[in-house]
Structure 1
């Protein structure tokens, strides 16, 4: 992994993101909710590195606290989607037949809808809020893991060690949990890394539309939305949140590419 320079760059970006999220109360120079309306839209300065928003709040401090929301949404979405997708994919691939047809047709139906539009529709029905955003992203997030795991299980279930375990009387649940899932973790980990980037970007998109974290909670997407009316004469309001979203997504993609190369058996 250390030989892959882009993966190292991505790991550094993610490390900074994690440190920023964990130690935001200690590292943030200002209270992210503190308003100084008379100083609204002030440009970057020595006192306020990223400038101030329309209400005079420090953008750098708000972005540090906003990283907590992004990480929470990403981890929660990927974790729940991973559990559902791996379980359904493993069962579908191992048993086949009617169970496989049922699950895969559900997957096909969900994949037929544009993911972000389905999430917007669901959050619009349930109401704005982070929990509803996570629920909406999980609704469409598990299908990719299910298809990936099913394809891996279809191959692994025909290998000799699975046949031997079956011949020794191992039950399907034990074969799936002990013999199949541990041997397909590599591609799942890579997919989860890309899933984190997608979840963070989706959360920012929904917050930009006013469906995610509600004011005054700091969120990168909401900060972009707040600053779009001042783009011409206060570009710092949207530039810095946009750059951070881009860098974080790039960081996850770089790490995912590095993990994919690391787990590639062809290089061994």
Structure 2
């Protein structure tokens, strides 16, 4: 692994973090009701005081503001992007699959900002993430002469989709189908890496989310019925699982 590669990845990640804030602005002003999932009604009611009304366009819904979560500052976004990209460069080195992971991370930064701001994972952004990683993995498979690895990626996506779809359909579940679709996309690179990273990528997001929820409850920042985003935990869990390779 080259130190220059890691440094370049960090600089690229910093720029991607700053760009994520700008790109996310076009999505954070739209009504949260466009995101599928059982939490939508609770978000709209909490933000407006009237059931069925969309979240105000001026910023994050009330639950997110009360919890102190929302779009990062420019410096914070740049630091997060640099750490994410550098970590991927350290884990994957000069592997031809690195560009696919970096591209997914760039779109993931935008998704994280949007989800933190207004509890949305817009389909066009999730679709863009799927396209980036699918094209990147296909290219890496052809370069490595190992097209069979794409089967593992597809299996990973299918397993992540099925597992999270079942969770979303459970009575009382707060998991939205935007989260389900993002989990399926993240299953592609995790399945490419193997069963161990895939298992970690399935487990870690829910552990991380549980820790965050408990910390916010203990601090009195949220109530037990406050809707909170899962997208950042899904992305962070996938990133941490990748670092184990």
TM-score by length of 1: 0.26
Q: Which has the higher contact order (CA 8 A, sep 6+)?
A: 1
TM-score by length of 2: 0.28
Which one has a bigger Cα radius of gyration? 1
